[in-house]
A and B are shown apart, each in its own frame.
Chain A
Amino acid sequence: MSETTVTRDQPITVEEQEVAPGFIGQNVPRKEDRRLVQGEGVFVDDVKRHGMAYVHFVRSPYAHAAISGIDVSKATELEGVYGTLIGEEVAAETDPFFQIAPPPGGDLKDYALAVGRVRHVGEPVVAVAAATRELARDAADLVEVEYEPLEPVLDPERAAEPGTAQLHDEVPNNTIWQGNFDYGDYDAALAEADKVVRIKRLHFHRFSSTPLETSGAVVEYNRGTGQWTIHSNNQFPGFAIIMMGPALRVGMDKLRFVSQDIGGGFGNKICTHVQLVAMCLLARKLRRAVNWTEWRTDQHTANSHGNERFFLDVEVPVKADGTMLGFKARMIDDCGAYTRYEPLGCIIWAQVTPGCYRWRNVRVDFTQVCTNKSPCGPNRGYSRMQHLWFTERIIDIVGQELGLDPVEIRKRNYIRADEMPYETPNGCVYDSGDYARCLDEALTLIDYGSIEERRRDAESRGRLLGVGIGSTLDSGTNNFGQSQLVNPELQFSGNNEVATVKLDIFGEVVATLGTTPQGQSHETTAAQVIAEVLRISPDDVTVRAGHDSYWNSHAGFSGTYASQFAVTGLGAVKGATERLAKEILQIGAAVLGAESTDEVELDGGFVKRKDNPEAALPFMACGAIVN
């Protein structure tokens, strides 16, 4: 059993205490709004460079085909076309992307452009760069690619069967990863059960979120330093750099990531490192800045989608009173044609193994396969959503089989408030919650008691009224240490985020974040926390907009994804501000002749003696003294 910081003996408690008026939790105007409502934000396609080329990708019309020839000559003859990039060049100038899976799944070769073979509709085959967007599309139409269609693998349930076509020569049976999860004592649960409910097949379909701003980048190459500046809306630069550095055969410091405003992310903008490598190669080859702005059609066709998952041969041992003892399932997850962030999804679901329920005995045979579809990536509720949908389907089906009301069977099986903090069968800790009460409140809000009456009323008007209940919880932030469960050779551990909070010479408080916000108000919330700690106004705090890996402090897992700003991002802000506050107090105490920092306090941009508020040192003086 793993050690945790929260235990039954040491639960998380919120101490009732008198709180001085502050800014955390207050409704304050957003710092971001003024520029955004005036159209003065800087989104990636707003970045312009002299002589910049616009890039259009020629994409595969086939799900699976061998590439027997590429001819770009007609495209390059067009006036205003600056050049092209094809798979052969990519294979010569880069290494395949680093793989998270152990062999053989991890042996697959993934490049920025298709090399010799296409494996999904929309896979980039050739990149064309020209003086305008329109011209780049014209030129792309003139690129001739010869394909020899191959049998596509479309059905994940059959992907691993013998005789099925193979996507990657290195990956037998199209099987990326397989693992068995066995928590509690499933056999004992079977023996104890009054009944075993069996569900042959449940299917969670492939899906995709749709940020209103498509993916994109403006990439510049500095020939003198060998460094790329990547203006992009990639939402997880820490991961992109880990992927891109080895591929481009450079150290991470050669990849400077910059973003200001990002028009939504939802996970779709995590795995753009593939296109970004193509952009880096083009910027270097063409000796000019290059712009790639994904067309919406391309975004729908071939951005990173959310994983499709099958739950097969499900067994649920239950007691006669509806108490569920556990579940057993064979799960097949489809990651699409390449494993970019995968197979992390094979383990991420386990953060919420039991969902909201007390069942303790779980046996899962989990297989991830590749198919000829667009590669998957983390997407809104990554991997947990599929699993939580599965637990909710189980409980409704079990309820129906036992003739129990969906509310009743949920309440009977919920983890109870007095069991918090609750350790799940696989050692995760739920810190708090009263799920039955939450459900009651939701039912009250929709006036659940009147549903039958409203149903009859609807029917009388020729309409049907249905009711469904879903109760889920979710884990916030990632623990990359989990990756060692899919590949013990990986050295990733935990998680991190960084913030810098400084006092400039004229007393300005300035913060930089490692995050890449996409509308989550990081500038505002960070300023609230800083203001609270330093006892100033959020208006007195400048938080630099966006991310710049040269300007801002950042860490290996910097970015904005997995709901982690509230925990790691703001945690870093708070920690940095507290250190700054301590230094300001030390300076103030020394200058004001106090015996210790206990005798001074921060108030409105001054350090003041508690016994004599007239004895005050402004932040400006503190900044100047240590300048």
Chain B
Amino acid sequence: MIEPVRGQRISVEINGERHERDVEVRRLLVHFLRDDLDLTGTHVGCDTGNCGACTVIVDGVAIKSCMMLAVQADGSNVETVEGLAPNGELHPLQQAFSSFHALQCGYCTPGMLMSAKHLLDHNPEPTDGEIRRAIQGNICRCTGYVNIVEAIAAAAKGEVR
């Protein structure tokens, strides 16, 4: 009988830095980020793929990192919220979220920001409808959606105070 593979060495580039680790093959990408690499900016809200708090960008695609195994990210390029302001200068989206009061408790914010970044990376001039579609997989329970949409629109237009 063949023993199933339980662990695997993976190499992932995260926010421009390469990380190599032995991980259990069942390890979720979000737990790899949070528990193995201490990148705790990416949050877990539902562990069922519904809330989007764990959204990161993998090879240019916004994904929910609780829905992806760490081993599936082997060899890929991952962007997380920690990479948005590498030198401490806020990304226009981050500044817009603050300026437009698009966050309260801040728990959904990293996932919202990454969904928004993915949108603007592919569609620099989105309509409100496109913004709403882009964040439809992200839940905010303080219910600041209106301000979040305004913030993303302002960031897209370069109208961030």
Contact = CB atoms under 8 A, between A and B. Distances in A.
Nearest to A40: B41
A36 B103 contact: yes
Contact of B98 (A37, A214, A263, A293): A37
Interface in A247-295: 261-264, 266, 293, 295
Contact of B41 (A29, A38, A519): A38
Interface residues of B, number: 44
B107 A43 contact: yes
A210 B51 CA distance: 11
B104 to A, nearest CB: 3
B131 interface: no
A264 B142 CA distance: 7
* Interface SS majority for chain A: loop
Contacts, number: 114
Contacts of A264: 105, 107, 141-142
B27 interface: yes
Contact of B44 (A33, A45, A134): A45
A520 interface: yes
Interface in A287-342: 293, 295-297
Interface string B21-60: 0001011000100110011111111111001010000000
A37 B105 contact: no
B81 A39 contact: yes
Contacts of A295: 47
Contact of A134 (B26, B45, B51, B142): B26
Contacts of A297: 47-48
Contacts of B18: none
A85 B102 CA distance: 42
Interface string B74-116: 0000001110110000100011011101011111111001000
A164 interface: no
Q: Among B39, B40, B105, B107, which residue has the most Cβ atoms of chain A within 10 A?
A: B105
B140 interface: yes
A interface residue count range (under 10 / 10 to 19 / 20 to 34 / 35 or more): 35 or more
Given A212-B140, A295-B47, A296-B46, A33 B98 contact: yes
Contacts of B154: none
A295 B40 CA distance: 17
B105 A263 contact: yes
A212 B108 contact: yes
B149 interface: no
B47 A296 contact: yes
A30 B84 contact: no
Interface of A: 29-30, 32-34, 36-43, 45-46, 48, 132-134, 209-214, 261-264, 266, 293, 295-297, 518-521
Given A36-B106, A37-B94, A37-B97, 4 more contacts: A38-B41, A38-B90, A261-B107, A521-B104
Interface of B: 24, 26-27, 31, 34-35, 38-48, 51, 53, 80-82, 84-85, 90, 94-95, 97-99, 101, 103-110, 113, 139-142
